[in-house]
Structure 1
Amino acid sequence: MTVHPSLQNYADAWTHSIESISELVKPLVEGEWNRRTPCPGWSLRDIVSHIIGMECEQLGDPRPIHTLPRDLYHVQNDFTRYMEMQVDVRRHHTAPEMTSELEYTVIRRARQLRNESRAPETMVRAPLGKEQTLERALHMRAFDVWVHEQDLRVTLGQPGNLDSPGALVARDTLLDALPKVVAKDAGAPANSAVVLDVHGPVEFLRTVRVDADGRGSIDGAPSLGPAVSLAMDWETYYRLACGRVRATSVADRIKVDGDQDLGAAILRHFAVTP
């Protein structure tokens, strides 16, 4: 039995990114595992530990019994505390322990996906003791591993895969959150439009429209009179939307035409990942 057709895209994207991560970390020597990454509070080791932990949870493995230190500044709520557990429990693992556990986990997960026969709407494990559909779970794993692959690439100075299958999943995931950013968080006025023009390895133009009731929606049709237009390259877009950089630090890579105050408000709220 193979993966359901509606899940195949996510399975392929996950496979591409997770195999790339394995290749990136395989040659690392002990000291390199502690290098700081763009992901707030996490080293290379921490990112790989997070990936291992989340994939193990999808396999049904029990969560570790572990007490977190009190001085982790980036752990500020229940969600980040939940995520940190799988990370902190591996902070003293050696390089061979990390690579071997990652390899074993990838083998197990790949086998699980090859034999997946459940329907996409099947409810499965989610963080914080919640549940989500199998389709949502695999979608989020494909998104998560691509973003963390890019964290590793930035840290190691090995750019690549900005147009991979995972990049396209990331594009769609981040765009789904944009109407809320524009309409609710940034407070774009009713009956207005905001245009986002992204170029580079992944190119797209999207318009967020705010209706008379202040609700946002997104489509691919251009707007003749947008309140503001934002233009940037794909790498800048994903890094902003994933909270890896602030707009002030990449201002030279962003062009804002129209209402400058609204443009600034949108960029202040651009990060949509937890």
Structure 2
Amino acid sequence: MTVHPSLQPVIDAWTQSVEAIHELVKPLAESDWNRPTECPGWSVRDVVSHVIGVETEFLGEPRPIHTLPRDLYHVTDEFSRYIEVQVDVRRCHTALEMTSELDLVILRRCRQLRNENRGPQTPFRWPLGSGNDQPLERALTVRAFDVWTHEQDLRRALRMPGDLDSPAAVLTRDFLLAALPKVVAKDAAAPPGSAVVFDVHGPLEFLRTVRVDAQGRGKIDSSVSLGPTVTLGMDWETYARLACGRVRPDAVADQIKVEGEPRLARTILREFAITP
């Protein structure tokens, strides 16, 4: 039995993005590994450490026994503490140690995924501390989303833009769009009858409308809305940075075009980030 057809595109997206990360960091000088990223408290080294750490857990490797320092201001809850262990344990690693470990992890994970013969709905125990099962397809989608997001963190830190329209970028777009009805209808509490349009341009262009029904539930579609309550226009990279919590709306206000009800627009943008 081979990889299920619905899993192959997700695996391919993850593979392209994680290999892009390897190509980005392989030639870096030692000092470049210390460049800050948009992830609070994390350098280039830390982002790569996080990618390595998560992939090792998907391989079934035991977590390192490590005590975190008390002065990590960005570690604020149990989830961030769980994530930080794999990062902090590698903060003393050299560039060569980092690239060598990344290379080996990618090799092993690619082999593991090539041999994947389970169906997309197979229950999968997420390794990142939640203790909850989820469908295998969902777990692999989240991994591709996370790796592409961190690829973009690295590209911005290193000033090496690219892959904004890659397979993983398209997967990320769809992943983020699936969260929009909740953002608009529940988190931002848009009133019943509202229509909120997102007009995004750049490497990935799309137009989506979230409509809030009489019961306050949000639904998303690609049709044009006449006289929407709010229209938010921005480029794709800004959309992704906002949705992934990399920047606050005030920091990129000059890159967002707002039309319609300003108070609702501000609330939607304030609730836009869906990642921890």
TM-score by length of 2: 0.97
Deviation at 1:247, TM superposition (A): 1.1
> What residue is the counterpart of 1:97 in the other structure?
97
Deviations along 1:2-40, whole A, 9 cap, x unmatched?
321111111011011011000000011222111100112
> Does residue 24 of structure 1 match 2:24?
yes
**Cα separation, 1, equivalents of 2:260 and 2:151:** 35
**Cα separation, 1, equivalents of 2:33 and 2:125:** 29
Map 1:237-252 to 2 at 5 A.
237-252=239-254
Map 1:168-247 to 2 at 5 A.
168-247=170-249
> What residue is the counterpart of 1:75 in the other structure?
75
Q: Secondary structure at the match of 1:256?
A: strand
- Identity among equivalent positions (%) equals 69
> What residue is the counterpart of 2:161 in the other structure?
159
**Cα separation, 1, equivalents of 2:135 and 2:67:** 30
Deviation at 1:132, TM superposition (A): 2.2
Deviation at 1:187, TM superposition (A): 1.4
**Cα separation, 2, equivalents of 1:63 and 1:222:** 49
Deviations along 1:104-161, whole A, 9 cap, x unmatched?
0000000011111111122223121333221111101100110000000001110000
Q: CA RMSD in A?
A: 1.0
> What residue is the counterpart of 1:117 in the other structure?
117
Q: Which amino acid aligns with 2:229?
A: A
Deviation at 1:225, TM superposition (A): 2.2
**Cα separation, 1, equivalents of 2:146 and 2:22:** 15
Deviations along 1:77-121, whole A, 9 cap, x unmatched?
121111111111111111111000000000000001111111112
Q: Which amino acid aligns with 2:163?
A: N
Instruction: Report how many residues are paired.
Output: 274
**Cα separation, 1, equivalents of 2:207 and 2:256:** 15
**Cα separation, 2, equivalents of 1:58 and 1:132:** 14
CA contact (8 A) 1:58 1:125 kept: no
Deviation at 1:63, TM superposition (A): 1.2
Of 216-225 and 104-113, more deviation after overlay is shown by: 216-225
> What residue is the counterpart of 1:141 in the other structure?
143
Q: Secondary structure at the match of 1:154?
A: helix
Deviations along 1:45-79, whole A, 9 cap, x unmatched?
11111101111111111111111111111111121
Q: Which amino acid aligns with 1:248?
A: D
Q: Secondary structure at the match of 1:212?
A: coil
TM-score by length of 1: 0.97
**Cα separation, 2, equivalents of 1:272 and 1:193:** 20
Deviation at 1:262, TM superposition (A): 0.6
**Cα separation, 2, equivalents of 1:186 and 1:133:** 29
